[in-house]
Amino acid sequence: MALPRPAPARRVFRPARRVSWGTRIFALLVFLVAVGAIGAFLEVLLPQQVAKLAQMEANELVLARTGTTEVNTAVAGLWADLSPKGAMGLSPDRLSADLALAKRTERSADDALSHVQAAQAYMAQADGLPFQFHAPTFIAPDRAAAQHLEKALTTSIKLSHAATLQLTLAEHMSQNSQSLASMNASLSARDWTNAARTASTITTDLKSQQSPSGDPEALLDPLWTKWVDAMLGVSIAAQQYSLASAANQAQQAQQVGRTLASARDQLAASFAAGQSGAAAWQAKTVQPILDTVARETTAGSA
């Protein structure tokens, strides 16, 4: 027996519920508050935040400009001191003073560069604030100035680091030259044991300096590398001569003696060549870099 079909659900038309005036007024108030908040942000808070970032950026840029100018002056003076005869021709006192200046200048350049980077960070924050129709007006000129200062400082760091490497090597070579004079005195006095010991010490130190002397970051004239090699040749020959003489090996001592004399001549010639070529090497290799530092410093300070 078939079941009766259920009656279809009765559809009842209900008119849309009317929004009360209270709800409309509340929605309008919320809208006005939102518009007011956005307006206050755009007209008050945003300009205040931009102004705050601009002030902090300006302070960092002032410190960066001052530091860059001081570093430029120090680097120029440092290399002017090294130019006439090269680092190897300086007195021990001058070497110590210039080495301290080079290290101090490198640290100062690092500090000034940190101020440049801080200024760039503030510019990026100001440029990244939301709801801005255009970038703040200070960013374009200050960003260009910061780029010039950054280039000047990175180049100054390169130059001061090169001076540090050269002067450190020069200090070693100055000490080795004094030891060489002591060794020659021992040879003249036929003190073979002391001469051999001193020559061995010189040889060990010179071998450790061959790598720094060939470091391209030192901007060292290759003529001075030849001088390092020539001094090494003298110390090796002197040690062999002392050992042969101490062992009463007259024939071998005579042969090594001729080698020692030739090595001494080469040492004197290479030192003279290094001093005479120092100014030309400086003008060719270092001066263009100094000019770049001065040019970028001027552009960044404008």
- Please give the structure tokens belonging to residue 200: 């061995």
Place of tokens 């003190």: 191
Instruction: Count how many Cα atoms sit within 13 Å of the Cα of residue 117 in the half-sphere of its side chain.
Output: 8
pLDDT digits (tens, 9 = 90+) for 96-153: 999 999 999 999 999 999 999 999 999 998 887 775 666 788 889 999 999 999 999 9
Residue 21 pLDDT exceeds 70: no
- Please give the structure tokens belonging to residue 22: 């209270």
| Mean pLDDT, the chain, integer | 88
Cβ atoms within 10 A of the Cβ of 104, count? 13
Q: Find the length of the chain.
A: 302
Cβ atoms within 10 A of the Cβ of 182, count? 15
- Please give the structure tokens belonging to residue 176: 């080795």
- Please give the structure tokens belonging to residue 36: 């007011």
User: Which residue type sits at 79?
Assistant: W
CA distance 191 to 181: 14
SS3 call for 16: coil
Percentage of the chain modeled with pLDDT above 90: 69
41-80 b/e (C-beta count within 10 Å ≥ 16 → b): eeeeeeeeebeebbebbeebbebbbebbbebbebbbebbe
**What is the distance between the terminal CA atoms of the chain, rounded to a whole angstrom?**
104
pLDDT digits (tens, 9 = 90+) for 61-110: 999 999 999 999 999 999 998 878 888 888 899 999 999 999 999 999 99
CA distance 228 to 249: 29
Place of tokens 């020959």: 237
SS3 call for 192: helix
User: Which residue type sits at 248?
Assistant: N
pLDDT of residue 186: 96
Cβ atoms within 10 A of the Cβ of 242, count? 27
Most confident option among 15-24, 53-62, 148-157: 148-157
pLDDT digits (tens, 9 = 90+) for 195-244: 999 999 999 999 999 888 889 999 999 999 999 999 999 999 999 999 99
Residues 6+ apart with CB under 8 A from 274: 86, 88, 89, 221, 223, 224, 226, 227
Percentage of the chain modeled with pLDDT above 70: 83
Closest-CA residue to 184 (of 172, 170, 194)? 194
Task: Name the CA dihedral angle for 251, 256, 258, 264, rounded to a multiple of 10 degrees.
Answer: -160
User: Which residue type sits at 302?
Assistant: A
Cβ pair 64, 301 in contact under 8 A: no
Q: Which residue has the higher pLDDT, 124 or 37?
A: 124
Cβ pair 230, 263 in contact under 8 A: yes
